[in-house]
Amino acid sequence: MDDIDKTGNLRRKAEEEFKKRKKLSSFEQKEKVDLQAMVHELQVRQSELELQNEELIQAREKEHKLEEQLRQSQKMEAIGVLAAGVAHDFNNILTAIIGFGAMAKKRLKEDSISKEYIEEMLAGAERAAELTRGLLAFSRKQVIIPKLQNLNTIVFTIEKMLSRLLRENIEFKTVLSSSDIIVKVDASQIEQVLLNLATNARDAMPDGGYLIIETGVADIDKHYAEANLFENPGRYAVLTVSDTGIGMAPKTSLNIFEPFYTTKEVGKGTGLGLAIVYGVIKQHGGNINVYSEPGKGTTFRIYLPLLQSAEDIKPEIVEAIPMGKGETILIAEDEPNVRKVSRMYLQEYGYKTIEADNGGEAVKKYKENADKVSLLLFDIIMPIKNGRDAYEEINKLNHTVKVIFMSGYTDDIVAKKGILEDGFEFLSKPLNLDTLLRKVRGVLDRQNAFKEQ
């Protein structure tokens, strides 16, 4: 009996246990399903978060890149201001050295021993002027004379000169777009850009390689324009210069546009080549990118605002320096050396001159000599009255008075008062003897035609 009871008890216990377990396991099962749903939800949430995180990282990287670009361009701006200041003063000094040197040379006999010295002196001064021009170009203070040009023609024109610069182990190719690419640029400046880039490519390929210059067109959308510090979105002409040379590390490519940055040994590089390129392109409202890796060559991509229509683009014809016919020119210039050089140039070539060292004096001298003066040669920045104001005052007395403005750099006033935009004749300093005399003759000869209109 005991045994039976025992068994019955045991069975009951087992049944209870079983029931309990069954209950628990259905409860557990429900819990399991819930848990699975939660896990799934968590997984979904996690991948959402991962995605968001990824986006955040990308946004931060983009912001970082933009900040870096902005910092870089501000730094370039600051260096530019410094460089422009130095270059401006040097320009005036060099105008005097080159001007007087050229005059002295002209007066010496062919066999004079001093002639060689002076030639050396002038060559040195020209090199200094070259450096100054480089600094001015970098700081975008150089006066550029933009005209409608076909980019293909510019590349085609300079091709021969570039191939002369390269060694025989460098294969040079141009790939020009089949349609005209019309841009408004100072052609000589773009040639300078190509020259500097080609020189660097040559230096980067001591063992030979390929240099390829391509022209094309690209649409820059708002997004890309913002991300790459373009002034405006739109259609751009693209000039690509690639080489298969040594390339450069990312750290190097960050600094290459700064003036005086060079990795070349002393005497081999000035570090101004790319600074000039940068300045010229920015001054033309364009942009420049560099893609490079060590050992994998380098590609510079230049963007210039594209124009739709083409005007007649005529080549310039170079003629002998024209002589004066005894006309009187009123020179207003506050820098004594520049004034003296201009006077000497003009007198040497058959003109009479009257001088003023400021704008107020210029107006006074004009009034005294109104019947004699055929042309005004005015510096733009002068004490008392600037060149433009002095001209305006004289123009009130004589509407047909002719003027040529000159300046060492594009001072604010040039931009503000739009000397160039208003179609005035303009000369940049250091004055070039040829250019001055041609311009003076050209303007004087146009005077009659102008009056008839």
Ligand X SMILES: Nc1ncnc2c1ncn2[C@@H]1O[C@H](COP(=O)(O)OP(=O)(O)O)[C@@H](O)[C@H]1O
Interface with Mg ion (CB under 5 A): 200, 273
Q: Say whether residue 139 binds ligand X (CB under 6 A).
A: no
CB closer to Mg ion out of 200 and 242: 200
Find which of Mg ion, ligand X, none residue 432 binds, CB within 5 to 8 Å per kind: none
Task: Find the helix packing angle between 2-107 and 113-138, rounded to 10°.
Answer: 150
β-strands 170-175, 209-220 pairing: parallel
* Other beta carbons less than 10 A from residue 211's beta carbon: 25
Find which of Mg ion, ligand X, none residue 291 binds, CB within 5 to 8 Å per kind: none
Instruction: State the residue for tokens 């190509």.
Output: 194
Q: Which residue in the shown chain puts its C-beta closest to Mg ion?
A: 273
- Contact criterion met (CB below 8 Å) for 255 and 76: no
Question: Using CB under 6 A, which of 73, 263, 328, 447 touches ligand X?
Answer: 263
Find which of ligand X, Mg ion, none residue 64 binds, CB within 5 to 8 Å per kind: none
Q: Which residue in the shown chain puts its C-beta closest to ligand X?
A: 273
* Other beta carbons less than 10 A from residue 90's beta carbon: 18
- Contact criterion met (CB below 8 Å) for 375 and 402: yes
Question: Using CB under 6 A, which of 248, 346, 354, 390 touches ligand X?
Answer: 248
The span from the CA of 83 to the CA of 138, in Å, is 8
| Selection from 178, 176, 172 nearest residue 154 by Cα | 176
CB closer to ligand X out of 142 and 200: 200
* CB of residue 216 to ligand X, shortest distance in Å: 20
Q: What is the DSSP string of 383-444?
A: SSS-HHHHHHHHHHH-TT--EEEEESS--HHHHHHTTTTTT-EEEESSPPHHHHHHHHHHHH
Q: How many residues comprise the chain?
A: 453
Q: Say whether residue 153 binds ligand X (CB under 6 A).
A: no
Find which of ligand X, Mg ion, none residue 262 binds, CB within 5 to 8 Å per kind: ligand X
Q: One symbol per residue from 186 to 205: x for binding ligand X (CB under 6 A), - otherwise; what is it?
A: ----------x---xx--x-
Q: Say whether residue 403 binds ligand X (CB under 6 A).
A: no
What Å distances lie between residue 412 and 330, 382, 389, 407, 417, CA to CA? 24, 13, 14, 11, 8
Find which of ligand X, Mg ion, none residue 261 binds, CB within 5 to 8 Å per kind: ligand X
Q: Say whether residue 270 binds ligand X (CB under 6 A).
A: yes
CB closer to ligand X out of 129 and 256: 256
Size of the site for ligand X (CB under 6 A): 23
Footprint on this chain of ligand X (rule: CB under 6 A) = 196, 200-201, 204, 243, 245-248, 252, 256, 261-264, 269-275, 298
